[in-house]
Structure 1
């Protein structure tokens, strides 16, 4: 009996990921950014318009961090090398920043995304091209929830969907398949690490509904 209970406890820990143990049912302070952008992230005199693309200077996001306990759900689909590299980058970032990260692997994407919303995170991060079209279906109905898409874009994003992309990524869904410029080799560890940090920095500073373009890596 005790051995069975211990096994269930281990299984539960694996499902919830590297979180703090909080079940997220308690009130949670509004997340705040710790630190500010360096020069060149965005023109301070002119905020980007919805669906605009910005090309920040490399490293201009490095001084921005989430407050401790920032709640993130990572949704991942696929076992291809680009997706695995993105997932590793998010996990490494979460550990370094003391983020409460939960991971959902999407066998059936739309219900999985809805489940992530129901968990009440501060941010939902997606990794995997198979999630792009399902995100387009769900995100417009949950405008209070912030989403961050890594290495791809939703074709017509609402203000709560931010993307980090580059020339070798740029998958946009809508049945069109991968872009002619798609290059799996462009999903390097450095670029994927920069994508989660730059994307979260933008979301924390309310620069949402835009595309952050990282061709500098």
Structure 2
């Protein structure tokens, strides 16, 4: 093969292998910490502007809509399961990333034995945020996240029973799975995972993380 053609072929192969928007090597640093572009409305936190860790906050609808991620944010979508709620959450994350020009990569757990390894693979990519979708990941996340406090996690459609400061969750009535054998604050309802509610959960959750309100549970109502 002629050298120009060989070089071009290598370039095309590299693009296909990366599978991400920017093609950047995330392991290269330092990378500026992402920040919020815009501000949360007053109704997001209510009267308590500094919620305690593990507390539940009920933001008013749309109070997160003015917050967007700064340029260059790197997000890993960590997912497990093929049920309709999980698929709806995955679509919501993908659409948010496209709308906000986020550099998004996906790690999918292949089976029960791959749940913890999948979390490790996600962290090894050095993202600014790991967004988790799928109830099967909750127990593994509860075991892993306390040992990696520098990594921010966002759990959508479920929550950890005892989250550390690096784990933020978004729930609503019908979606509050906390792990096997643990009670839920509402009865699980797969039909509650509508496209609109999942989209709101992703935007509210990422807005909270970007605004540095982490380690809390956001409870969405009126969707």
TM-score by length of 1: 0.91
Q: Of 178, 191, 206, which aligns to 1:185?
A: 191
Which residue pairs with 1:23 in the alignment?
25
Single out whichever of 177-186 and 109-118 deviates more from structure 2.
177-186
What is the alpha-carbon root mean square deviation over aligned residues?
Answer: 2.2
| Structure-2 change in CA distance of 1:38 and 1:46 (3 Å) | closer
Instruction: Give structure 1 stretches of 5+ with no counterpart.
Output: none
Q: Deviations along 1:53-107, whole A, 9 cap, x unmatched? A: 0110100000000001110001000010000000000000001101110100012
Could you tell me how far 1:11 is from its partner in structure 2?
Answer: 5.0
Q: Deviations along 1:117-165, whole A, 9 cap, x unmatched? A: 1111110000000000000011000001100000000111111100000
Q: Is the 8 A contact 1:83 1:128 kept in 2?
A: yes
Which residue pairs with 1:66 in the alignment?
69
Q: Match of 2:169, SS? A: strand
Q: Of 6, 17, 21, which aligns to 1:12?
A: 17
Q: Is the 8 A contact 2:37 2:68 kept in 1?
A: yes
Q: Deviations along 1:14-73, whole A, 9 cap, x unmatched? A: xx4x43111113221111110001230013654111111011010000000000111000
In structure 2, distance between residues paired with 1:135 and 1:179:
19
Q: Of 96, 103, 108, which aligns to 2:106?
A: 103
Which residue pairs with 1:147 in the alignment?
153
Instruction: Give structure 2 stretches of 5+ with no counterpart.
Output: none
Larger Cα-atom Rg: 2
Superposition pairs for residues 105-184 of structure 1, below 5 Å?
105-107=108-110, 108-176=114-182, 181-184=187-190
Q: Is the 8 A contact 1:155 1:174 kept in 2?
A: no
- Mapped pair 1:40 → 2:46: no
